[in-house]
Amino acid sequence: MSKGTILLDTKLDLGERKSIFIDAFSDRKVIDLAASGNQGLSDVRYALAWLPEHGLLKSLPKLEVIFSLGAGVDHILSDPDLPNVPLVRFVDPDLTGRMAEYVAMHCLLHLRQHKAYDDQQKSHIWCELLQPCAPDMSVGIMGFGLLGQAAAERLLPLGFNVNGWARSEKIMPGVTTYQGDDQLNAFLNDTDILVNLLPYTPQTHGILNRDLCQRLSRDGPFGAPVVINAGRGKSQNSEELLSCLTDGTLHGASLDVFEIEPLGPKSRLWDLDNVYVTPHVAATTSPQSLARYVVEQIARYENGQGLQNIVDPRQGY
């Protein structure tokens, strides 16, 4: 019996790294969609996809499992013709560690006012700024699942006060946790640096807006809060964040994701002196880790052990 064909649809210019996926499945036929022109897809059992065109997955008659080539799955769930087969999200220590690093780094950058020091360096200005310390700041992680808890593990040893909010109850030593809509206001009121790691769902669409920013604490050392969005671009309203960043509602921001990517060159966010813009790299996925993960999951599936990290389409994650 044939092991079945694998479809690789990355929408990424992997260059020589594409051979990593080809080599990982050396015992199977691998079709690179970008090179195949949609030919030979009738025997595809497994699809490795990032931003697949709507209707593509439905057109695969023998498809058994879809693997998302990244932590997010909204790019697949948005397909109105998504077939009723398991969708597996990518969970890996490499990705988790990178996200935790990004969050900790940007909390420290804002705490130690590195934007201001960068500007001073460019203007050849030597001026010491008043420096708060980590215990003076409360970091609130909105989306306290695997990634959120990993970020908290990095922040706690640095001395930050850490809060976590999730839809359902989560418990972690050293962290004050909140859950559900009823406790969202209390969480926001106790947060000086808000870290968004929520998955994208209809409920989180545009949640990072002016209303939310106005509910964040204004009792911290800077007199206004900071927002770090390393979650999903459609969870933020960039125009309202821009307004908050220019009128003092927000002290600063680190934005890694946007509603439309890449961020347009004319966006005013590029030029704000209190904003870090990064090109969706908070948790850049290693092709080696991706390939290894999919190989392991397919082996589990074919050995009858069951797939891990299956997405619930109703929840969106």
Q: Which of 106, 280, 300, 314 is catalytic?
A: 280
Whether residues 198 and 263 share a domain: the answer is yes
Are residue 171 and residue 219 in the same domain, yes or no? yes
232 included as an active-site residue: yes
Number of domains in the chain: 2
What is the β-pairing status of strands 275-277 and 252-255?
parallel
User: How many Cα atoms within 13 Å fall on the side-chain side of residue 131?
Assistant: 10
Residue 312: inside a domain, yes or no? no
State the Cα angle at 25 between 24 and 27, rounded to 5°: 130
Of the residues 215, 232, 292, 300, only one is catalytic, namely 232
Inside any domain, residue 55: yes
The answer to the question of residue 242 being in a domain is yes
Are the C-beta atoms of residues 5 and 298 closer than 8 Å to each other? no
- pTM for the structure as a whole: 0.93
The verdict on 10 and 60 lying in the same domain is: yes
Instruction: Let me know if 280 is a catalytic residue.
Output: yes
Domain assignment present for 214: yes
The verdict on residue 238 lying in a domain is: yes
Same domain, 79 and 127: no
Instruction: Give the residue carrying structure tokens 């992680």.
Output: 141
User: 41 in helix, strand or coil?
Assistant: coil
Does one domain contain both 134 and 104? yes
245 and 115 housed in the same domain: yes
CB 148 within 8 Å of CB 178: no
Residues 171 and 37 in one domain: no
Whether residue 59 is found in the same domain as residue 155: no
Quick check: is 310 in a domain?
no
The pLDDT tens digits along the chain (317 residues) read 457 899 999 866 556 667 888 899 999 999 989 887 778 899 999 999 999 999 999 999 999 999 998 888 999 999 999 999 999 999 999 999 999 999 999 999 999 999 999 999 999 999 999 999 999 999 999 999 999 999 999 999 999 999 999 999 999 999 999 999 999 999 999 999 999 999 999 999 999 999 999 999 999 999 999 999 999 999 999 999 999 999 999 999 999 999 999 999 999 999 999 999 999 999 988 889 999 999 999 999 999 999 999 999 989 99
Check which CATH number belongs to the domain holding 141 and give it: 3.40.50.720
Instruction: Determine, yes or no, domain membership for 268.
Output: yes
Give dist(CA 241, CA 229) in Å, integer.
11
57 and 196 share one domain:
no
Q: Is 317 a member of any domain?
A: no
- Domain of 12? 5-92+285-302
